[in-house]
Amino acid sequence: MKRIIPIFLIIFSACTSNQQTWVQELESKNPLKDSTNYISVYFRFETIINDYEVSGILYPEYSEQYGWCEYENGVRLFFNSRKTGKEYIWTDWDESCSCFKNIFMSKNVYNIVHSEGFNGFMSGDTYIFVYDTTTAEYAQNPLLPYAEYQFYDADFDGEDELILGYYGGGPHGCTCYEIYDITDSALLLKSPVDEEDYFSIDVSTEFDHAKRIITNSIYYDGAYAWGKNVYRADENGDLHRLYYASFVSDFEHNIVSADTTFYH
């Protein structure tokens, strides 16, 4: 039996017929709806951002030791453009192992698991997710730390990219983000063309639109040891790693040592 569950910061406002319509649409797109290994929880965002209606299927993780996971779960996200009619799908499903990578980290899911009276998920549960526009007080950029997705011109090409947020997945528990180009047919993960390491941005990332520069800061030991990776976007929006710099300071923050590696 399907449940529609109102909880703290989760709002249900659609009438029953509308609810049945969008849930039925998600069920028809769910390749795991009859799976005995996963349960399927359906959700949608009431807020329309950049002309996209967003809905999804959550495949929540559960363990006997820790209970329901509030951070890392499987998911399928559907981005439907009202303007073009195109639908884009994002998922962390890994075909090589027929399993999820379990990297969907959502403030809404966190709120559900930690809400008063939460007794677990059941397959067929339905939620309306809040689109949280809270900003971070000390952020170096305008990205929204509690939003699962947003749009921002992160490569300075004049067009907004899709930014997926991982709540609590960055350094020191901050939100980190991945950048996706929205092409005619797919979402393409953006990373520097000359760097093989995993690339993400976070609350400390700085965007210099005039110089087309992205600066990622890295903190190793509080205020006493840190570094930064600096990237430049070319005219096509492709990112190139310029240099890496590391610093160590004494108690008064006087530089004791500094080292820089240039790539271009």
Residue with tokens 């951070």: 71
* Residue (of 139, 109, 91) closest to 41 by Cα position: 109
Q: Quick one: pLDDT at residue 11?
A: 40
Copy the structure tokens of residue 156: 């300075």
Ramachandran sector of residue 262 (left: φ over 0; alpha: ψ -120 to 50; beta: rest): beta
Q: Quick one: pLDDT at residue 158?
A: 94
Q: Quick one: pLDDT at residue 197?
A: 81
Contacts of 189 (CB under 8 A, 6+ apart): 178, 179, 180
Q: Quick one: pLDDT at residue 256?
A: 62
Q: Quick one: pLDDT at residue 253?
A: 57
What does the domain layout of the chain look like in residue ranges? 16-129, 149-262
Contacts of 34 (CB under 8 A, 6+ apart): none
How do strand 41-45 and strand 52-59 relate by DSSP bridges? antiparallel
3-state DSSP assignment of residue 261: strand
Q: Quick one: pLDDT at residue 6?
A: 39
Q: Quick one: pLDDT at residue 203?
A: 92
CA Rg, the chain, in Å?
20
Q: Quick one: pLDDT at residue 20?
A: 81
pLDDT beneath 50: ranges in the chain: 1-14
Copy the structure tokens of residue 75: 């998911």
